[in-house]
Structure 1
Amino acid sequence: MATPLTAEQLLTALRAEGVDVVEYASWRTHNRNHKGAWGPLNGVMIHHTVSSGTDASVELCRNGHSALPGPLCHGVIDKAGTVHLVGNGRANHAGGGDPVVLRRVIAEDYGDRPPTPQEHEGSAGAVDGNARFYGFECVNLGDGEDPWPAAQLEAIERATAALCRAHGWSARSVIGHLEWSDWKVDPRGFTMPSLRDRIAARLSGPASGGSAGRPAGGTSAPRYEPFPGTSFFDGRTSSPVITAMGRRLVAEGCSSYAVGPGPRWSDADRRSYAAWQRKLGFRDSDADGVPGRTSWNALKVPHTTV
């Protein structure tokens, strides 16, 4: 079980994983928290929209309709592979589902797929999935014929991996709506076991946000320094990577430097980095000034020739 990410932590995790993100107006405070619990979180659920067109699909998922008010998910993944953030908090996406499935997702102990669900919204044994899952709606007609472009499938893989990485979950924490409720068929057109295989492969390596940006005008994407590990940041370290990091902290308005920055890790670096962590939404021991992978990837330190 996990505490929900703040809006800034969610955004940071997605960008660190190389997700192309568009922030919809007021998404940070748009939720259904007044209707029920939000958290503890146990996983991520994938849906298809049964709609076409990015603008119309995003609008639907943001506002919902008379029978089901929005937000209907947290992010809409379009066919070009862009994730449109429309909500942060409880959303009307999962509804009631099978408690046996929930237990197996929490334990992450199932094989190819969770047990076949036996419950649905309104059935006697159903549990509230809106409190327990992040939700992504993926633009697709859901008829089994509408294609799933490679860019869209990659975005689904990256977005779900980002949340798994942020919470320390495995790929078994990602399920389809059809694996949660015996009333549902989404997503249709690819299999959840194949998606979980892709997520697991991505999680076996570092977050790859530094090389995942879409280049403009045919130019190559910028190169960023990979996360060097927490042991790199001590008083014995002297490296141009530290200088490049400090310059990025200054550019982000997080400077505690009297002079510099310079190549040797210092207390000024630590204080500046703690300000960056707080800017991202981290608090208490998570904002101790020692770089971690998620905050480092979000900082995008330019590649330095050593």
Structure 2
Amino acid sequence: MTATIAYDRSVANFIDKLSATGHVTHKSYKKTSVTLHHNAGRFSHQGLLDVWKERPASAHFDIDAAGAVAQYVKVNEYAWAVGNVAGNQRSISIEMANATLGPGWTVAEVTWKNAARLAGWLFAKVIGERPSKSNLFYHHHWSATDCAGPHMEQLYGKVLAAAQEAYDHFKGSQPVSGSDTEPFPGASFFHAGKKSPVIEAMHHRLVAEDCNRYQSSANADVWGSGDVKSYAAWQKKLGFEGDDADGIPGKTSWDKLQVPNV
């Protein structure tokens, strides 16, 4: 069975069941945004699957009326969700069950808050950018529709704030394994997802003291503004792989950047 995401809460697995319909496009794309939808109905996870069995539509996730999460499509794959090819390629779609039907199409607080929390996790673990107005969308961003409904339209500011809070939690609260958990100068000032004075100071020191040496030894062509993304790029160029290149300046990566292998 295809595995769901490694979320810190239970995720019901409908990936293979939806794939069995034959209308899931198993092609990977780089994801750069999250798009929120409403069900236009008060569906259970199974009820939504039953709808998608009858017509070629899908989303990566659904949040039901109780706030529970289900996954239907692998996060890097194409979902038939936003009515726009580029949007389906680049965005991860999250459906939300309605609490009431039209014209209000309300969504329960527990539903949209859990959708925002999941979005924060996806931005932290998959996309690598902090949620903002430029990458957290409602369905109508991509095509002519009222989705995610008038109720959610009024709540967008709260949804974005909740997604940002979740992102900061997932980037900042999880310790880095191994010796990277050891304290190092300025570590307490680091807050993941935002500019760090530690990274910024390191960046300026590297440039000022020995730019050519550091660039050549790490084969580096990225000089960022001291943010998490540019730090993660340095980690990758210095041999960090997978989740180890997380943009978090632990002691091991700090030391390695100061004295890179030549």
TM-score range relative to shorter protein? 0.5 to 0.7
- Structure-2 residue corresponding to 1:91: 79
Map of 2:102 onto structure 1: 143
Quick one: which of 104, 128, 135 aligns to 2:86? 128
| Structure 1 position 92, deviation (Å) | 0.7
Distance 1:61 1:170 in 2: 33
Question: CA offsets per residue over residues 59-107 of structure 1, 9 Å max, x none?
Answer: 24542x3xx414x1111110101111112221110122xxxxxxxxxxx
SS class of match (1:76): strand
Match of 1:180 among 142, 147, 163: 142
Change (3 A) 1:33 1:143: same
Which one has more relative contact order, counting CA pairs under 8 Å at least 6 apart?
A: 1
Deviation string, structure 1 residues 190-225 (Cα, Å, up to 9, x no partner): 2323311221122233469xxxxxxxxxxxxxxxxx
2:39 matched to 1:42? no
Q: Kindly indicate whether the alpha-carbon contact (under 8 Å) linking 1:41 and 1:133 is maintained by their aligned counterparts in 2.
A: yes
Alpha-carbon distance between aligned partners in 2 of 1:61 and 1:87, rounded to the nearest angstrom: 15
Q: Distance in 1 between matches of 2:50 and 2:18?
A: 17
Distance, in Å, in 1 between the alignment partners of 2:180 and 2:87 is 41
> Does the CA contact (< 8 Å) of 2:96 and 2:107 recur in 1?
no
| Structure 1 residue 227 corresponds to structure 2 residue 185 | no
- Partner secondary structure for residue 22 of structure 1: strand
RMSD: 3.5
Which 5+ residue runs of structure 1 have no aligned equivalent? Answer: 1-6, 97-126, 209-225, 236-283, 294-306
**Aligned partners of 2:181, 2:169: CA distance in 1, in Å?**
25
Matching of residues 253-272 of structure 1 within 5 Å: none
Q: Which amino acid aligns with 1:58?
A: L
Give the whole-Å Cα distance in 2 for the aligned partners of 1:202 and 1:234: 22
1:32 is aligned to 2:19:
no
Where is the helix percentage greater, Structure 1 or Structure 2? 2
Q: Conserved in 2, the CA contact under 8 Å of 1:23 and 1:86?
A: yes
State the AA in 1 paired with 2:123: C
State how many pairs are aligned. 181
1:131 aligned counterpart, secondary structure: helix
Identify if the C-alpha distance between structure 1 residues 90 and 234 changes in structure 2 by more than 3 Å, giving closer, same or farther. Answer: closer
Deviation at 1:164, TM superposition (A): 0.3
C-alpha displacement of 1:180: 2.0
Aligned to 1:76: 62
